[in-house]
Structure 1
Amino acid sequence: MTALRGQMMQMPLLISSLIQHAARHAADTEIVSKCAEGGLHRYDWAGAELRSRQMAQAFARLGCMPGDRIGTLAWNGYRHLEIYYASSGSGLVCHTINPRLHPEQIAWVANDAGDRVLCFDLTFLPLVEKIAPQLTSVEHFVLMTDRAHMPAATTLPHLLCYEELVGQENGRYRWPQFDENTASSICYTSGTTGHPKGAVYSHRSAMLHAYAAALPDAMGCSAREVMLPVVPMFHVNAWGMPYSAALVGAKLVLPGPDLDGKSLYELFESEQVTFSAGVPTVWLGLLNYISANGLRFSSFKRTVIGGSACPPAMLHTLRQDFGIEVIHAWGMTELSPMGTLSRLKAKHAVQSAAQQQRVLEKQGRAVFGLDMAIVDDQGRSLPWDGQTAGDLVVRGPWVIERYLGLPASPLVSVDGEGEWFPTGDVATIDPDGFMQITDRSKDVIKSGGEWISSIDLENIAMSHAGVQEAAAIACPHPKWDERPLLVAVPKPGAALSRESLLEHYRGKIASWQIPDDVVFVEALPHTATGKVHKLRLREQLKDHVLPTA
């Protein structure tokens, strides 16, 4: 017997439908941006959709074809938002590049992705001029500004003005229909190797992620919100907030390059922001500014804190002193990035504030669409008892299957069946489904929500003439969560100092990635296979206090 098929419309899940919906059903809802050139820009979802269509036309006029990559080096602003939709919506691929990477890494990821167009904010003009000769695939450079702010002179060939590109088009453009599994965007993650790795998202994965993020037990977005993503749009698509804001038709506030406490507080108050998201470092700066000036929030009610673990003291301060609900979250670039969020269940309503705090300090529960498990070294499932720790694995429609350009898939089997993504984290899961990270099997260092590759740090140290062997490990830091500590073995007879070794890093890596301190030892501990025994090294130096702490 032939199976009965559903008699429903076949409409692919495409990112363009989000901004079309917002333009039709939240047309006059504001989008407010702080500009890299200074000042505020205001328009609405109808205006954003029109200009996105104009920019899609502009990309076509530049000769871009479906599948071509559009690179961006930009802050959270309205032009960046337009490129999100103009590129993905027209069948191109939006590649957001982290400008905090070392220039050599920025050039590498642009070339690896095969970016054909590079769009960038005025802030990054010197950076792009510096790396342009290394960008082998880029044919067009687009400065995201108007004619008045274009440079009088530049070393870039045929530098284009964003506003002139938009202004030349009429906007009479129909968003195309295509397979929902088509690539929509690329984000790179540092991982455990020297070179970053590309995660390629599809329209389907991005749409399902946007739906899930808006659920009440996730970010809980709605048309009643004023949303301000502090997390940059070059950090895993600002955790999907530009998509979820369009999905629900919320007012969107984009903070531009000014992420200091004073600038953020003034923007929160002037625009009456109700919901935000960002890494702990940003909230620390904001709380310090508020406390120093005796201020309060008048509208801010809820925030997602992720990227690195939220310090319990910060969670307590936001909840108890300011009445702000803190959603502690965990995710990865490979997960688009949403994994788990810590929202209380009904059973927790009768618990004391201290008991609730202990639950909220965990990384939280998975939303529908993401499944997780903890496994032992043989890939066997471990119990969810809140005590047993194992390797955390996940699967779902917004979890990557493989990295860009790498033939081998990282997926592993669990209990002899199915394929799961190994996160590299070690965790426990309690009977209520709350996951808590207990350790990381990776050796990368997480500083202020940014990954720093220990391999990169070690390779640079080993290039110093006076270093025989070196290892980089994470050291606790009160502001940045973790900072790199270099442990080095000097060559016999070498006159090696802390200052000279740290100076050796200048120009070879981004300044914020340079280790905070150096410890000299006679020998490093090694495993039976000859690798540096970092677990033992971390244990030996667990009481080391960084000078920056």
Structure 2
Amino acid sequence: MPGGSDMTLHQFLWRGENVFGDQEIISRTHDGIHRYTYSEYADRVRKLASALDEWGVEEGDRVATFAWNHHWHHETYFGVPCLGAQLHMINILLPDSHIQHIVEDAEDVLLFVDATMVEKLDAAYDEEAFDSVKQFVVMGDEVPDTDLDPVTDYESFIESGDPDFEFPEVSEDQPAGMCYTSGTTGKPKGVEYTHKMYWGHTMSIMTGELGLMNTDTELTIVPMFHVSGWGRPFATVASGATQVLPGPHPEPADIASLVENEGVNKTAGVPTVWRGLLQYAREADPDLSSLEYVMSGGSAAPPKLIDDYREELDAELVVGYGMTETSPVTHVAEHRTDTRDYEGDDLTELRAHAGLPSPGVMMKVIGDDGEEVPWDGESLGELLMKGPWVTTEYFNAPEKTKSSVTDDGWLRTGDIVRVTEDGYVDVVDRVDDLVKSGGEWISSVEVENRLMGHPRVAEAAVIPVDHPQWDERPVAFVVVDGDFDEDELREELKAYVAEEYPKWWAPDAIRFIDEVPKGSTGKFSKKTLVDEFIDDELKREVSESAPGSR
């Protein structure tokens, strides 16, 4: 006999409320700390769903959010999809033109906006692009000055909602969420997530070494406007873990305070967040002793950062991998049976991998000839993935789907990888970021990580620049702490790279900048580097360079 019900988010909400009803959600807001239990949370989720139903939201309608991580935003994560509608999380850090495109493309009918983000949304508002939005709701209990119309506050909106509202039956194939890619190669593209995709992804990230349990206290640093907060809001409710939400504009001091005061033992975010927290810890010496596991994703984590977290904070910084198109987590650099005794450099090398494929994910690596390459830790190729929470199409973008998904359903990631014999994936570079020098590939990611291993370097980004003889050569943009002599440090860094890699991998030019520009997801924005720093003088310096001997 088949199973008795579809795989939907309703089951996770039921478990959180009925089994772990006394567990807390702690939310930092723009005006303080808000605490309530999962039982109280579930009542408010039903009130929200009831209010949306009464307002006129129907099955399949898209309801947007434009907000940071707090309890109001979290309530929409279950209130909207459990009603049968689709939650569309808009990245608040995107430029206005992208926000306009996203709202118009998704045809959102109602939009929840963070009180701290009303001004930003006002600036992005365009009457034609926002034509489908018939109601704005400000998350909080009052409405600041705004031109958004019609508008009400969240607490007033749900006030008459029914805490005993009965959710409708929803198919596991019903779209539950939607996020858009960051638009680094054109306009952002929508990726839809069904209940079944969220269900499978949630069950996967609850397993393994970094899996969540009801005894954990998890700090959801990953923005809930970015790829569903990496699934952490769903997994905490499903597992019954205590959840801590950092609120608007979380700075290292805010993160440290929440870890110290709430006893956070697990968290996840991008490397820039963890570099900032480590620097703050060195200066302010907060009590971060509760931290056990810090998951890092979005871009490669330098081995030195992994070492520093273990040595200074006694916490394991573990790399994970995924994409907007994969809900997102597909790999985690966790232990195998034969690695449990690893220490020091061996353990750091393991944690620095993009990771082992998660349960439910299949992968293969395809070379330039279209054939699979062996898992030998050396052979390079493009990573392709397939699985229950890996998308097979883009929303309203058939041509992008055709170029990114094979006829038999494998997603082309655009990432060049190698795989060790025992299944650990290393992301070498994006296809577009590899430096092709004299017919050979140079990994910008590996050069960046080597540079960031130098004790003086805080950040480093490497991009290719045209060369008349060698096709392309690497150029590095580096952020350095403290005072230094540019010429001396430039030569020292080139030599430092050459100690680990062939001399011709060393950057032909190094520019020292105040900060590496970052995109809306916290990753280094190499497009911005090209636009702002690649000038005729730099091109001339590279064209006249003579890379180290091969």
Give the TM-score band, short-chain normalised.
0.7 to 0.9
Choose the corresponding residue for 2:426, options 403, 413, 436: 436
Q: Which amino acid counterpart does residue 105 of structure 1 have in structure 2? A: H
Q: What SS is found at the alignment partner of 1:419? A: coil
Choose the corresponding residue for 1:520, options 535, 545, 548: 535
User: 1:14–1:541: structure 2 CA closer, same or farther, 3 Å change rule?
Assistant: farther
Choose the corresponding residue for 2:98, options 83, 98, 105: 105
Q: What SS is found at the alignment partner of 2:432? A: coil
User: 1:56–1:344: structure 2 CA closer, same or farther, 3 Å change rule?
Assistant: same
How much has 1:477 moved relative to structure 2?
4.5
In structure 2, distance between residues paired with 1:178 and 1:540: 62
How much has 1:116 moved relative to structure 2?
0.7
- Pair 1:420-2:410 in alignment: yes
User: 1:542–1:189: structure 2 CA closer, same or farther, 3 Å change rule?
Assistant: farther
In structure 2, distance between residues paired with 1:46 and 1:538: 65
- Pair 1:143-2:138 in alignment: yes
In structure 2, distance between residues paired with 1:17 and 1:266: 33
Select between 384-393 and 317-326 the one with higher mean Cα deviation: 317-326
Match of 2:65 in 1: 72
Choose the corresponding residue for 1:24, options 12, 18, 21: 18
Q: Cα RMSD between the aligned structures?
A: 3.2
Match of 2:115 in 1: 122
Match of 1:207 in 2: 199
Match of 1:309 in 2: 300
User: 1:538–1:280: structure 2 CA closer, same or farther, 3 Å change rule?
Assistant: farther
Match of 1:502 in 2: none
How much has 1:28 moved relative to structure 2?
0.9
Identity of aligned residues (%): 30
- Pair 1:81-2:83 in alignment: no
Written as runs of structure 1 = structure 2, the 5 A alignment for 1:344-359 is: 344-359=335-350
CA contact (8 A) 2:295 2:318 kept: yes
Q: Which amino acid counterpart does residue 311 of structure 2 have in structure 1? A: Q
User: 1:440–1:58: structure 2 CA closer, same or farther, 3 Å change rule?
Assistant: same
Choose the corresponding residue for 2:238, options 236, 247, 251: 247
In structure 2, distance between residues paired with 1:540 and 1:250: 56
Unaligned 5+ residue runs, structure 1? Answer: 1-6, 448-470, 480-510, 526-536, 544-549
Select between 7-16 and 304-313 the one with higher mean Cα deviation: 7-16
CA contact (8 A) 1:258 1:264 kept: no
How much has 1:90 moved relative to structure 2?
0.4
Q: Which amino acid counterpart does residue 77 of structure 2 have in structure 1? A: Y
User: 1:271–1:191: structure 2 CA closer, same or farther, 3 Å change rule?
Assistant: same
Q: Which amino acid counterpart does residue 276 of structure 1 have in structure 2? A: T
Select between 345-354 and 220-229 the one with higher mean Cα deviation: 345-354
The one-character-per-residue Cα deviations of 1:95-153 (angstroms, maximum 9, x if unpaired) are 00111111111111111111111101111111222233341211111111103xx22x4
In structure 1, distance between residues paired with 2:167 and 2:183: 35
Q: Which amino acid counterpart does residue 99 of structure 1 have in structure 2? A: I
Q: Which amino acid counterpart does residue 64 of structure 1 have in structure 2? A: V
Written as runs of structure 1 = structure 2, the 5 A alignment for 1:22-421 is: 22-36=16-30, 38-133=31-126, 134-147=129-142, 150-151=143-144, 153-190=145-182, 192-217=184-209, 219-408=210-399, 409-410=401-402, 418-421=408-411
Paired residues, what number?
A: 470
Q: Which amino acid counterpart does residue 145 of structure 1 have in structure 2? A: G
In structure 2, distance between residues paired with 1:16 and 1:46: 14
Q: What SS is found at the alignment partner of 1:66? A: coil
Written as runs of structure 1 = structure 2, the 5 A alignment for 1:415-494 is: 418-442=408-432, 475-477=476-478
Q: What SS is found at the alignment partner of 2:409? A: strand
CA contact (8 A) 1:14 1:204 kept: yes
How much has 1:475 moved relative to structure 2?
4.8
Q: Which amino acid counterpart does residue 19 of structure 2 have in structure 1? A: H
TM-score (norm 2): 0.80
User: 1:341–1:411: structure 2 CA closer, same or farther, 3 Å change rule?
Assistant: farther
Unaligned 5+ residue runs, structure 2? Answer: 435-443, 449-471, 481-523
User: 1:351–1:123: structure 2 CA closer, same or farther, 3 Å change rule?
Assistant: closer
CA contact (8 A) 2:393 2:405 kept: no
Q: What SS is found at the alignment partner of 1:180? A: coil
Q: What SS is found at the alignment partner of 1:119? A: strand
CA contact (8 A) 1:331 1:337 kept: yes
The one-character-per-residue Cα deviations of 1:440-460 (angstroms, maximum 9, x if unpaired) are 11359999xxxxxxxxxxxxx
In structure 2, distance between residues paired with 1:523 and 1:51: 57
